[in-house]
Amino acid sequence: MSERQQVQFEDLGNIAYKPAWDYQADLFDEIVAIKIKNRDLPLEERQPTKHHLLFCEHPHVYTLGKSGSMDNLLLNEQQLAEKDIEFYKNNRGGDITYHGPGQNVGYPILDLDMFVTDIHLYMRNLEEVFIRTLAEYGIESGRYPGFTGVWLEPDDPIRARKICALGVKCSRWVTMHGWAFNINTDLQYFDYIIPCGIADKGVTSMQKELGRQLDFQEVKNVVKEKFGEVFGCGFQ
């Protein structure tokens, strides 16, 4: 679209997974309802849809996408309780992933009719946000053929490791769910799952790669800036 879209940005801070999921679902449903109503209205009477970008940080939780396998969760219900880790099955694409402290979780709820109606390009654009963010910190990253997400050393099958996982839902060209970007993440929690169902690839974080703790807010600001660059949008 030639018109620059405005995205309503909210940082929800540290919030449990379910309330954040419910909130983005409400925003998603609101956009879809407007689009359905607009179909029967003359052009001049149609209501514009809104776009949203939510940032948050979750307490320890595993989420399993609709195409995922329970075999990739290596803890039973009692062990999850002992470690104070929540678990949810949800309606995004992808397999199992972890959310926790020190991780930037982002939920773009966008009407892609106002951006680009190509879900594969949308996913590549999300990856580009983090490739550019990591470059700001001197970390070279890229895409691993056949897999989503952002990877370090993707050209080396032995050393390739994921630093940002993606999983989205798209219906009527409206998106929800999004990314999990490891900044200061405690990586031991990935030992209790087969991340994204990929058994032979590692997971990393900015903290591990740089050998120091990052300014969490600073990195989030860079992510937001790069999102605006890649998607050609402003923020409200």
pLDDT at residue 218 tops 70? yes
Residue 1: the pLDDT is: 46
Q: What is the mean pLDDT of residues 182-191?
A: 97
Mean pLDDT of the chain: 95
What pLDDT, on a 0 to 100 scale, did the predictor assign at position 222? Answer: 98
SS3 190: helix
48-91: pLDDT as tens digits: 999 999 999 999 999 999 889 999 999 999 999 999 999 999 98
Please check the confidence at residue 129 and state whether its pLDDT lies above 60.
yes
| pLDDT value at residue 195 | 85
- pLDDT mean over 86-110: 95
User: Under DSSP, is residue 63 helix (H, G, I), strand (E, B) or coil?
Assistant: strand
In degrees, to the nearest 5, what angle opens at C-alpha 106 toward C-alphas 103 and 110? 175
The whole-number pLDDT of residue 94 equals: 85
**How far is the C-alpha of 160 from the C-alpha of 179, rounded, in Å?**
19
Crossing angle between the packed helical segments 119-135 and 216-231, to the nearest 10 degrees = 140
63/92 Cα distance (integer angstroms)? 9
Partners of residue 104 on adjacent β-strands: 181
Closest-CA residue to 85 (of 165, 190, 167)? 190
Residue 199, pLDDT score: 78
Q: Which helix (H) or strand (E) holds 164?
A: strand 161-171
Expressed in percent and rounded to 5, the helix, strand and coil fractions of the chain are: 35, 30, 35
Can you give the pLDDT at residue 201? 87
Q: Model-level pTM?
A: 0.95
pLDDT tens figures, 12-60: 999 999 999 999 999 999 999 999 999 999 999 999 999 999 999 999 9
The answer for residues whose C-beta is within 8 angstroms of residue 199's C-beta and 6 or more apart is none
Active site residues: 196
